Structure 1
Amino acid sequence: MFRNGTLERFSSASSIINSLKEDADFHQYCIQEKLKPGPLNHFSVVNNIFYLIESGFVIGSRNMGFGEQLPILLQPGDFPYLPSYIEELPPFMECEALTEVTWWKIDRSFFQKIIANDLLTSRLAKSERNIQEHALMDRMHPEQRIYFSLHIMMQLGSEVKANVLKLPVFVDVEKLAAYAVTSIDYTADILQALQEKNIISTEKTSWVIEDITAFHTLLESENIFAQP
């Protein structure tokens, strides 16, 4: 159980795994898998297995009903399915490994024996934020959706130096267009405009936000976070 009462103990994939390893039955109930980029067709919630991403990035598509799909970007430390809201999810979620991925398959009953509800509550809050972001994007112009999608992907990036950030290696025009629900040609035009303003560079394998401040100013001018 939650022995020391501190949520920091479960702040990352490694800390969660280390906590699970304290139990003598760890290797009986936890299996590490390494995956290549591509669709994860076998990914299912009905087999009492939870998946913890240790490294790499995954995108999931959650069916919201009425033909709507909610894209969810997942990073190390994330669970595609959470016990606290598992009953709300469809039996299957379409997922794709955007990079090489290492994850842990963890038996549901073992996981719940070791990990406290506080962790599950914090992960549920992230799921709710994804839904709120999706609702926000629904009210945006396509150009604004591209900006907002870049903003979300920036949260998975790494700082190069002050005011400069490298986006994850999986980000390209196709992935950005799909996440923003816009055409590839239109997305490319918007990116070209951002390049001309020296805000983004897309010439290298990993895209770079060259001027974070200018990009945030653009978000504010478009009222991205003030949608009705």
Structure 2
Amino acid sequence: MYSKETLESYATFSNILKILKRDPRFNEYCSQTRVPAGTSLPLNKERDVCYLLESGFVKYNFSGEDGLCNYYIVYPGKFITLPIVEEYVPNTGELLFLNQSVYWTIDFEFLRKMLFNEDPRNYIMLQFSVETRYKLYVLATMRNITAEERVMFTLIRLANFGMHVSANRVDLPSFVTYNIVAELAGTSKSFATLTLKNLRDKGILDSSKRPWVIEDMSFLQDTLNISDIPSF
């Protein structure tokens, strides 16, 4: 069994680039791109590259054979996509960059060769698999709670990317909007807006200006009573 700290400390953004740069052909197989907020990048099932996020936030939309749409947020330092098993790649996908971002495009065969030589214990792949497991846990949780609870659950997830100004108060990221909350919660914008208004009326949320502020984080956590909410 591996420790959480071991995997996380090895699979950092800086260490991944350090490993890749050990090959003199790094610039041949890896390229850096800066994109403005709102940039969309479509994905199909045929993938020979993967994407590593250096800065910014990305909403990854994807669907499988059941046709249902799924969403999650990728934050800096993490792989946006890393197609480990060919048969298990989502049918379609889209990357939406929520603010100005920088990401790396990495040839997958080059990455696989470098990890085979430099990461024989597969720490980086294992860490990505662990993160994917938690993302699936989030999606499974979302499908088993009410629409109102999904909106509150989404706020808690988004709080992980914000600034915790005190134990109970969180400034949410500047990209948070009614549309973003509705999409992540799997509800209509009108329903999400009404639910958020109820939270405002109770003094739980302040969305009068950006960034939005969760004024009472413990209320959301206690109301949902969902343990082990991951940070992605």
What TM bracket, shorter-length normalisation? Answer: 0.7 to 0.9
Alignment of 1:42-191 (within 5 A): 42-44=42-44, 46-90=46-90, 92-115=92-115, 116=119, 117-191=122-196
Cα RMSD of the aligned pairs, angstroms, is 2.2
Name 1:3's counterpart in structure 2: none
Structure 2 SS opposite 1:153: helix
Structure 1 runs of 4+ off > 6 angstroms?
A: none
Asked whether the 8 Å contact 1:85–1:124 carries over to 2, the reply is: no
Q: 1:107: how far off?
A: 1.6
Q: Within 2, Cα distance between the matches of 1:57 and 1:8?
A: 19
Map Cα deviations across residues 85-136 of structure 1 (whole Å, 9 max, x no partner): 4430135412211111100011212212333322111111211222222122
Q: Which moved more, 1:113-122 or 1:9-18?
A: 9-18
Length-normalised TM-score, structure 2: 0.84
Q: Does 1:33 align with 2:33?
A: yes
Q: Within 2, Cα distance between the matches of 1:95 and 1:171?
A: 16
Name 2:197's counterpart in structure 1: 192
Q: Does 1:218 align with 2:217?
A: no
Residue 37 of structure 1 aligns with an amino acid whose one-letter code is A
1:133–1:190 distance in 2 versus 1, CA, 3 Å: same
Q: 1:24: how far off?
A: 2.4
Name 2:206's counterpart in structure 1: 201
1:129–1:120 distance in 2 versus 1, CA, 3 Å: same
Q: 1:47: how far off?
A: 4.6
> May I ask how many residue pairs the two structures share in their alignment?
218
Q: 1:80: how far off?
A: 2.5
Q: 1:225: how far off?
A: 5.3
Asked whether the 8 Å contact 2:47–2:83 carries over to 1, the reply is: no
Q: Within 2, Cα distance between the matches of 1:121 and 1:175?
A: 30
Residue 200 of structure 1 aligns with an amino acid whose one-letter code is L
Unaligned runs of 5+ in 2: 1-5
Residue 193 of structure 2 aligns with an amino acid whose one-letter code is A
Asked whether the 8 Å contact 1:83–1:120 carries over to 2, the reply is: no
Name 2:14's counterpart in structure 1: 14
Q: 1:18: how far off?
A: 2.9
Q: Within 1, Cα distance between the matches of 2:156 and 2:56?
A: 19
Q: 1:76: how far off?
A: 1.1
